[in-house]
Amino acid sequence: MEQVFASVVFNRHLTGDYWLLEAEAPALAASLLPGQFVNVRIEGSAAPYLRRPFSVYRVSRDRRRLQIAYKVMGEGTGLMTSSIRENGRCDLIGPLGHGFSLPANAKRIAVVGRGIGIAALPTLADEAASRGIEVHAFLSARTRPNLVALDIFAEYAFPVVTHTDEARANALVTDALAALAQKVRFDAFYVCGSNRLARAVHALAQKQNVPAEIAMEQHMACGFGDCHGCVIAVNLRPSRGEKAFKEVCHYGPVFQTWEVVDASA
Amino acid sequence: MRAPDLSTTIAGIRMKNPLTVGSGTYGHHGVFGQFYPVETMGALVTKTIRSHRWPGNPPPRVHEVPSGLHSSVGIPCNDWDYFVAHDVPILKGLKVPIIQSVIGRTEDEYVEIVRRCSELGIFAGIELNLSCPNTKQGGVDFGYDPEASFHLVKRARDATKLPLIAKLAPDYSLLSRVAKSVEAAGADAISLVNAPRAMCIDYRTRKPIIGNRVGALSGTAIKPMAVYMVWEVYRAVRVPIFGMGGVTDYRDVIEFMAAGARAVAFGTINYVDPMALPRALEDLTTYLQENGIEDVNELVGAAHDDRDELLIPAENRLESEVPV
Ligand SMILES: Cc1cc2nc3c(=O)[nH]c(=O)nc-3n(C[C@H](O)[C@H](O)[C@H](O)COP(=O)(O)OP(=O)(O)OC[C@H]3O[C@@H](n4cnc5c(N)ncnc54)[C@H](O)[C@@H]3O)c2cc1C
Ligand SMILES: Cc1cc2nc3c(=O)[nH]c(=O)nc-3n(C[C@H](O)[C@H](O)[C@H](O)COP(=O)(O)O)c2cc1C
Ligand code: FES
């Protein structure tokens, strides 16, 4: 983990509500593991005060550059579109947190993402591909343009099932996963971006006795474990019962689904 | 010109420079020096600990506000045995004076944790975090009550030979009285401000945003208030002051020292700009050189003048606010 002033390669509109930032940060990019994140400071203005956490969307093949795919939500992400400029610099802290784990002999995994939650998945897909693991993606979003990363899964010819609310508002993209999982064996599930999808993936994982991981988000002040501000309630055992508060930036952002599904209820 | 002398002694603790960190804003789980060697600072103030395990407050715990942070973490704490087994060996390895911050819900709990910490023999001082509701006295924070502060500090004083620093809650009306009480009770230094209470309400749900409902405010937003409070306490007591509240750079350090602080702590800024302290140290050195100041301690109290009256009309003053 380190603070770097990365030089910005580009920062441009991606698709739908999303922007894509690419920056040169060799040491950070080289050590980054799938599912880890960075904390971005928007320089040159007093507001916003805090950094903004983002998953790393992609690391270049030479592992010198990294990308962040971000959705324009409020003041911070809005300012990022205008204040972070090509050839300028970007103040980053990372890599942060604990990312996804791939079971040792995995042959096939399923990744499930909704909205900007999808942005956490490409680094996992890249790692899986490098180990010869087949990835099935189940991606959902409000509208078609908000389905990011389709091109990345296409690069590897990984099968992708998509779902948009415009098309079928009540169905879940995990219905397709549940159907497929009847026929083929998955060695792990990964989910991010939606509580509903997380519950569905967790239920399926339990039924099939397959490990399932989830990337969580929480409001953060530091992102590197010092403030204890980003906790969520987690189950300490799969059987529920005892709970504890754990820092998303330190113990997560990736947790086992049993740790977090229904933990705050 | 000769390099300026940055060293200072506060409450008997020798610091190679006057910069330190606010309790709870630097380091975690025994991890220090993630961005620069902890030995860069003049002293390390560690996260407040309790005598017993404590989960802390429910999420969400942090919420950004303009130029500041609204938070309520609730001082989560592992149990004492864990602290001794895990944190103490790491702290022992640090070559910097360590001030351990402690808290309790009752006088007895404070005394117990003060005693245990002194027995470890690794701390340069103990800071009493007085921002805790006194559960035996209707839940008013010790730091908001001159008498409760007096009794608490007195008992802590009897429980340790280490330098004792009382960290005050920021309360305009009673500040000088509490400062005088803790001084009279034997505190060797005063530290302020702790983050003042605050609340943010979501206009959509019309409910408080922070899990604990009531939180604190810290960061740039509170700086002028904190500088004023240091200024006021400097006039009220003779013990030295650790000043803090929204410090971001060397200019803020100078401001707090001029108000009366002998040492200055970096707090919330550590989360945002983790290199703020080492950069301020460099810039402060340059500032002293450029201004021909040979000893950093010359800055202390520079903002005060001969007018010995507080700018509060006499008839509105509490007796204890009569200038010293
Ligand atoms: C580990 C992690 C990974 C993330 N990855 C991505 C990503 O790859 N792409 C992406 O677009 N977004 C991602 N997010 C969410 C992103 O951090 C927020 O959308 C962003 O902080 C919003 O900032 P804002 O100023 O535009 O919005 P505002 O709503 O104005 O922000 C106000 C405050 O709330 C915080 N906040 C708001 N929403 C979130 C949220 N969902 N999570 C955490 N803090 C939030 C902000 O950081 C800020 O402190 C991630 C969050 C976390 C914790
Ligand atoms: C998240 C957070 C945790 C804190 N934890 C403690 C603590 O454990 N003990 C303490 O005495 N002060 C604690 N503080 C208060 C700071 O040490 C400091 O007094 C206050 O934040 C004002 O300084 P600042 O504006 O520079 O942050 C905490 C502040 C924040 C924001
Ligand atoms: S954001 Fe500070 S501990 Fe996680």
Please check the confidence at residue B271 and state whether its pLDDT lies above 90.
Answer: yes
Active site residues of B: 132
Mean pLDDT of A233-250: 92
Three-class HEC string of B159-195: HCCCCEEEECCCCCCCHHHHHHHHHHCCCCEEEECCC
Please check the confidence at residue B132 and state whether its pLDDT lies above 80.
Answer: no
Number of Cβ within a 10 Å radius of residue A130: 9
Q: Which ligand is nearest to the CA of B45?
A: 2
Identify which has the larger pLDDT, B168 or B29: B168
Question: Residues of chain B with pLDDT > 90: what percent?
Answer: 85
pLDDT for the residue B310: 59
Out of A237-241, B180-184, B190-194, B227-231, pick the least confident. A237-241
Q: What is the dihedral of CA B313, B316, B320, B321, to 10 degrees?
A: -30
Please check the confidence at residue B29 and state whether its pLDDT lies above 80.
Answer: no
Q: Which CATH number fits domain A216-265: 1.20.80, 2.60.40, 3.40.50, 2.10.240?
A: 2.10.240
Question: Residues of chain A with pLDDT > 90: what percent?
Answer: 89
Mean pLDDT of B139-152: 88
Please check the confidence at residue B323 and state whether its pLDDT lies above 60.
Answer: no
The CATH code of domain A2-96 reads 2.40.30.10
Please check the confidence at residue B31 and state whether its pLDDT lies above 90.
Answer: no
Mean pLDDT of A245-265: 92
Please check the confidence at residue B315 and state whether its pLDDT lies above 80.
Answer: no
- Ramachandran area for residue A178 (φ above 0: left; ψ -120 to 50: alpha; else beta): alpha
Mean pLDDT of B35-59: 96
Mean pLDDT of B109-127: 97
pLDDT for the residue B265: 98
For residue B220, which residues of chain A lie inside 8 Å, CB to CB?
46, 49
For residue A250, which residues of chain B lie inside 8 Å, CB to CB?
28-29
Domain A109-212: state its class: alpha beta
Residues A243, B55: Cα–Cα separation, whole Å: 10
Number of Cβ within a 10 Å radius of residue B292: 8
Question: Residues of chain B with pLDDT > 70: what percent?
Answer: 93
For residue A3, which residues of chain B lie inside 8 Å, CB to CB?
35, 274-275
Please check the confidence at residue B322 and state whether its pLDDT lies above 60.
Answer: no
Q: Do B60 and A49 touch (CB under 8 A)?
A: no
Q: How many inter-chain contacts (A to B, CB under 8 Å) are there?
A: 90
Give chain B's domains with CATH numbers: 8-321 (3.20.20.70)
Q: Give the closest residue to A126 by CA, choosing from A147, A149, A94.
A: A149
Q: Are strands B189-192 and B164-167 parallel, antiparallel or unpaired?
A: parallel
| Cβ atoms B134, B140 nearer than 8 A | yes
Q: Write down the domain spans for chain A.
A: 2-96, 109-212, 216-265
Please check the confidence at residue A265 and state whether its pLDDT lies above 70.
Answer: no
pLDDT for the residue B324: 44
pLDDT for the residue A168: 67
pLDDT tens for residues A139-183? 999 999 999 999 999 999 999 999 998 876 667 888 999 999 999
CA B7 to chain CA centroid, Å, is: 19
End-to-end Cα distance, chain B: 38
Q: Whose CA is nearest to atom 19 of ligand 2?
A: B194
Q: Is the CB of A88 under 6 A from ligand 3?
A: no
Which class for A104: exposed (0-12), middle (13-18), buried (19 or more C-beta within 10 A)? exposed
3-state DSSP helix/strand/coil % of chain A, to nearest 5: 25, 35, 40
pLDDT for the residue B181: 97
Phi/psi at B141 (5° precision): -55, 140
Summary mean pLDDT of chain B: 93
Question: Distance, in angstroms, between A52 CA and closest chain B CA?
Answer: 10
Using pLDDT thresholds of 50, 70 and 90, give the confidence band for residue A47.
Answer: confident
Q: Are strands B8-10 and B13-15 parallel, antiparallel or unpaired?
A: antiparallel
How far, in Å, are A151, B103, B107, B188, B192 from residue B171 at the CA level?
58, 18, 21, 21, 10
> Which amino acids bring their CB within 6 angstroms of ligand 2?
A 227, 229; B 22-25, 47-48, 69, 71, 73, 75, 101, 129, 167, 193-195, 218-219, 222, 244-247, 267-268
- Ramachandran area for residue B158 (φ above 0: left; ψ -120 to 50: alpha; else beta): alpha
pLDDT for the residue A21: 98
Please check the confidence at residue A255 and state whether its pLDDT lies above 50.
Answer: yes
Out of A38-47, B21-30, B62-71, B133-142, pick the least confident. B133-142
Helix (H) / strand (E) element for A182: namely helix A173-183
Q: Give the closest residue to B132 by CA, choosing from B192, B74, B80.
A: B74
Q: Do A250 and B55 touch (CB under 8 A)?
A: no
Nearest by CB: A221 against B34, B71, B273 = B71
Please check the confidence at residue B13 and state whether its pLDDT lies above 90.
Answer: yes
What's the predicted TM-score (pTM) here?
0.95
Best of A245, A247, A264 to disrupt the B interface (most B CBs within 10 Å) is A245
Q: Decide: helix, strand or coil at residue B244.
A: strand
pLDDT tens for residues A192-220? 988 999 999 999 999 999 999 999 999 99
Please check the confidence at residue B316 and state whether its pLDDT lies above 70.
Answer: no
Q: Do B59 and A41 touch (CB under 8 A)?
A: no
Ligand 1 centroid distance, CA of A52 (Å): 6
pLDDT tens for residues A101-146? 999 999 999 999 999 999 999 999 999 999 999 999 999 999 999 9
pLDDT tens for residues B210-266? 999 999 999 999 999 999 999 999 999 999 999 999 999 999 999 999 999 999 999
